[in-house]
């Protein structure tokens, strides 16, 4: 990868017009946050071949071997912090659309921030923001896509059954610059829709790929495990469950997995 190759043929108006590239960084999100604090423009993207301290939600490690696409993009939204938390859905929809169109993959979206292929994780998203009261000074959307490597060779045994890569799914390596441009295009389109029409159209499209809805799931966080039927994702991005006692519960934080009976 190189900046020239990533930007060659890029059709976006804002996103990816400035790209910074490194062979290795601890975290593209941390790099992008430093750039944003220094005044980097909206749409600036930090890209790395590898991350030595990549992370997902709840500070979990994100394994970033060479061959993946790891980037973070800076946005400066006009809406307040409660709306900015929904950026993970915007990015998830963009990645899902790009992978579906470019590689004809059977894509699923999983609450709140994962993209799956055939039930296995292929992409994770982490959105972070800097705020003053409820005003968002900037937000950073980090995207990690498993692309040109064989999961069986580079991931630990515990993750092999639940993760996949583009190479594993299509049987060959792909051009990372093409993937980057496809995701940038979809991300700018989804972000503009979010700016202009709010969360409703984003959520409606995102839910079309949410195969976990209508299924028995387990939701876990650092404090508890909840079992129930996944009924819906509401207008605030919360997961609505019907519990085993018949009551409904609104869950704002957690990880979803299908319940194995």
Q: What is the structure's pLDDT at 62?
A: 64
Q: Region of 256 please: left (phi>0), alpha (psi -120 to 50) or beta.
A: beta
Write out pLDDT tens, residues 110-123.
999 999 999 999 99
* Alpha-carbon separation of residue 63 from 26, 58, 88, 146, 148 (angstroms): 11, 15, 19, 9, 14
Name the segment(s) of the chain with CATH classification 2.30.30.100: 216-258
Name the segment(s) of the chain with CATH classification 3.30.930.10: 3-207
Q: Residues with Cβ < 8 Å from 43, sequence gap 6 or more? A: 12, 14, 15, 16, 17, 18, 73, 74, 75, 188
Write out pLDDT tens, residues 31-66.
999 999 999 999 999 999 998 876 655 556 667 889
Q: Can you name the CATH fold of 3-207?
A: BirA Bifunctional Protein; domain 2 (3.30.930)
Report the candidate in 52, 47, 58, 45 with the shortest Cα–Cα distance to residue 18: 45
pLDDT level of residue 239 (50, 70, 90 thresholds): very high
Q: Which two tokens stand for residue 14?
A: 């804002």
What is d(CA 101, CA 207) in angstroms, rounded to the nearest whole number?
17
Q: Measured at the alpha carbon of residue 32, what is the angle toward residues 57 and 192, in degrees to the nearest 5?
A: 85
Has this prediction a pTM greater than 0.85? yes
Q: Residues with Cβ < 8 Å from 69, sequence gap 6 or more? A: 47, 143, 144, 145, 147, 176, 179, 180, 183
Write out pLDDT tens, residues 156-192.
898 889 999 999 999 999 999 999 999 999 999 999 9
Q: Which CATH number fits domain 216-258: 1.20.1260.10, 2.30.30.100, 2.10.70.10, 2.40.50.140?
A: 2.30.30.100
């Amino acid at each position: 990868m190189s900046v020239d190759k990533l930007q060659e043929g890029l059709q976006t108006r804002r996103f990816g017009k400035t790209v910074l590239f490194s062979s290795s960084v601890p975290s593209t999100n941390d790099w992008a946050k430093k750039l944003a604090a220094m005044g980097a423009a909206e749409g600036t993207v930090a890209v790395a071949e590898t991350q030595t301290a990549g992370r997902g939600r709840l500070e979990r490690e994100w394994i970033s071997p060479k061959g993946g696409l790891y980037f973070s993009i800076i946005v400066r939204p006009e809406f307040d912090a409660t709306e900015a938390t929904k950026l993970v859905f915007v990015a998830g929809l963009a990645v899902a659309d790009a992978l579906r169109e470019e590689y004809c993959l059977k894509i699923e979206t999983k609450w709140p921030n994962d993209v799956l292929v055939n039930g296995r994780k292929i992409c994770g998203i982490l959105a972070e923001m800097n705020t003053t009261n409820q005003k968002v000074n900037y937000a950073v959307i980090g995207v990690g896509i498993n692309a040109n490597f064989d999961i069986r060779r580079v991931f630990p045994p515990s993750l092999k059954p639940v993760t996949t890569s583009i190479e594993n799914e299509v049987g060959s390596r792909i051009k990372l610059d093409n993937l980057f441009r496809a995701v940038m295009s979809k991300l700018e389109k989804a972000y503009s829709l979010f700016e202009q029409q709010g969360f409703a159209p984003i959520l409606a499209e995102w839910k079309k790929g949410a195969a976990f809805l209508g299924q028995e799931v387990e939701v876990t966080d650092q404090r508890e495990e909840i079992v129930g039927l996944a009924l819906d994702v509401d207008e605030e991005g919360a997961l609505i469950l019907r519990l085993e006692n018949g009551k409904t519960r609104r869950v704002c934080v957690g990880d979803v997995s299908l319940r194995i009976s």
